[in-house]
Amino acid sequence: MYNNTFNLILLFLLTSFAASATGHPDWHDTVGAKSFPEKTNEFCVNDYTNQPDTVINWAPVIQKAIDQCSNQGGGIVHFKPGLYPSGSVFIGSNTNFRVDEGVTLQGIAREEVYPIIDTRIAGIEMKWPAALVNIIDAENAAISGNGTIDGEGKYFWDKFWDMHPQYANNGLRWALDYDCQRPRLLLVSDSKNITIKDLRLEEPGFWTVHILYSENVTVDGLTIRNNIDGHGPSSDGVDIDSSTRILVQNCDIDCNDDNFCLKAGKDADGLRVNRPTEYVVIRNCVARAGHGLVTFGSETSGSIRHIEAYNLKATGTLYGIRLKSAKTRGGTIENVYIHDIEMDDVFVPIRGTLNWFPKYSYSKLPPGIDEVPEHWKTLSAKVKKKDGIPTFRNFRIENISATRAGSALEVTGLKKSEIKNFTIANTYIECKRPGYINFVENWTFDNVEIVPLSNEALTEENAENIKWINQ
């Protein structure tokens, strides 16, 4: 309900955001790419074919241009204006792969044009199709331009939904995402000093941008639109996965899963790899449709730490700040600073669960089957109870404005792992109901006003040392 009192409070909060911020962590300026391909030698893709009108799959032609660029020490690979259907291409070091305005690189809706590679997907290492555009084992490379990269994802989305009933009805929902192999749009893996900038990205078969096992990556100025031709399952926006010193800024994401997501491996395989996501800044971005403005997990096994997210807006997003893990996942999520956030029509501004989506999170091999895919064995490998309990702690969330919310908070830890040491400050949430906190410890609400349409109060269960200041 909007009224004059609410508008005055909202105006006060919004105008006080910049002045009330406590400053950035000391590692803030170490994130992002520290170099950009400098060579200006140009390699036009169109020069590598004599019969452009007959090309059905441009990938071999594009790869010739990329390889020639790499062989000459780097430069710019670019296109004449037009539509370029393609399978997977692989960008080398010192190369700026430029998709200019008027150019559309369009994924081909056939599995065979995406070669199978060794990678990690949804938390486990396995064989999986390469992305449409890949930067693997490279340094000082970029994907840039004001053009469009379109995954033509609907073919792969329909494949997923066709498989879904059989898997769901047979207790195999946990295997579906891995068996239904769908290409990502952009993959940066095992690379350093990489820039992805100023592109329009549309409709991936699976995730849109996946930053994996990489260091000093900048993702800047992307427009991601994944709901044009339906609602693609698992069409995450930007996934940062066991990577360090990453900068994401000036992005606008409309998708059908988590908008900006931090990951670090799943269960036994993630604990084996044990690589954290750390030192990440996400700023000056917008989330529209999607499942989480900023999401931590559910793949948390390698730990997630030293994260700052600020100057963000969410409109029509399912959740705002989202924490999710499972009792077999392990990992520690800590030292997180989230501030200066505006949310409107977000169902739950702050939501957390450490027992997320059990039908997906917990893998159990069906009885009586002797031969199963290798990744089923990986998914169902046992985790010791003490290693599987995740830890969420040391969050500071401040200067939050949320309007037209469903619940203000919905947070549930575990009896063996309370979500602890949280401060929420200078926050105003207008909502239908206040929600609940359960299995939490050492929470401070400082100058927090929750204004529900109902007369309910925030439910506190199994909540130890909860402080409300300046009420």
Contact assessment for residue 250 and residue 221, using Cβ atoms and an 8 Å cutoff: yes
Check pLDDT > 80 for residue 108: yes
Q: Which two tokens stand for residue 2?
A: 């909007």
Place of tokens 């009192």: 5
Return the higher-pLDDT residue of 6 and 398. 398
Integer Cα distance of 98 and 74 in angstroms: 13
The SS3 of residue 54 is helix
Q: Which residues contact 308 (CB under 8 A, 6 or more apart)?
A: 24, 25, 28, 280, 281, 282, 283, 336, 337, 338
DSSP state for residue 380 in the 8-state scheme: T
pLDDT class of 274 with cuts at 50, 70, 90: very high
Give residue 369's pLDDT: 80
Residue pair 277/215 in contact by the 8 Å Cβ criterion: no
CA 370 to chain centroid, in Å, comes to: 36
- Whether the upstream peptide bond of residue 70 has omega within 30° of 0, thus cis, is no
Say what the pTM is. Answer: 0.94
Question: What pLDDT is stored for residue 230 in this prediction?
Answer: 84
Average pLDDT over residues 267-281: 98
**How confident is the model at residue 462, as a pLDDT?**
98
Res 234 pLDDT > 70? yes
Mean pLDDT of 27-32: 97
Could you give the maximum distance between any two Cα atoms of the chain, in Å? 73
Rounded average pLDDT over 198-204: 98
pLDDT for residue 122 is more than 90: yes
Q: Does domain 32-226 have CATH number 1.10.10.60?
A: no
CA atoms within 13 A on the CB side of 187: 27
* Both tokens assigned to 181: 């192999």
pLDDT value at residue 4: 41
Amino acid letter, 45: V
> Do the Cβ atoms of 397 and 422 come closer than 8 Å?
yes
Reduce the DSSP state of residue 276 to 3 states and report it: coil
Region 277-295: mean pLDDT is 98
The strand ranges marked E within 288-358 are 292-296, 304-315, 319-324, 332-344, 348-353
Question: What pLDDT score was predicted for residue 440?
Answer: 98
The fourth-level CATH superfamily of domain 1-30+257-357+389-471 is Single-stranded right-handed beta-helix, Pectin lyase-like (2.160.20.10)
At 12 the pLDDT is 38
What integer is the mean pLDDT of 176-180? 97
Mean pLDDT of the chain: 94
Q: Could you state, in order of their start, the residue ranges of all structural domains in the chain?
A: 1-30+257-357+389-471, 32-226
pLDDT band for 455, please (50, 70, 90 cuts): confident
**What's the confidence (pLDDT) of residue 10?**
40
Q: What is the DSSP letter of 325?
A: -
Cβ atoms within 10 Å of 227's Cβ, excluding its own: 17
197: pLDDT strictly greater than 70? yes
pLDDT of 367 reads 85
Give the residue-averaged pLDDT of 358-368.
91
Q: Nearest Cα to 288, choosing from 231, 356, 213, 214?
A: 231
User: 6 pLDDT exceeds 70?
Assistant: no
Domains 1-30+257-357+389-471 and 32-226 share a fold: yes
Q: Please state the rounded mean pLDDT for residues 98-126.
A: 98
Categorize the per-residue pLDDT at 454 as very low, low, confident or very high, splitting at 50, 70 and 90. Answer: confident
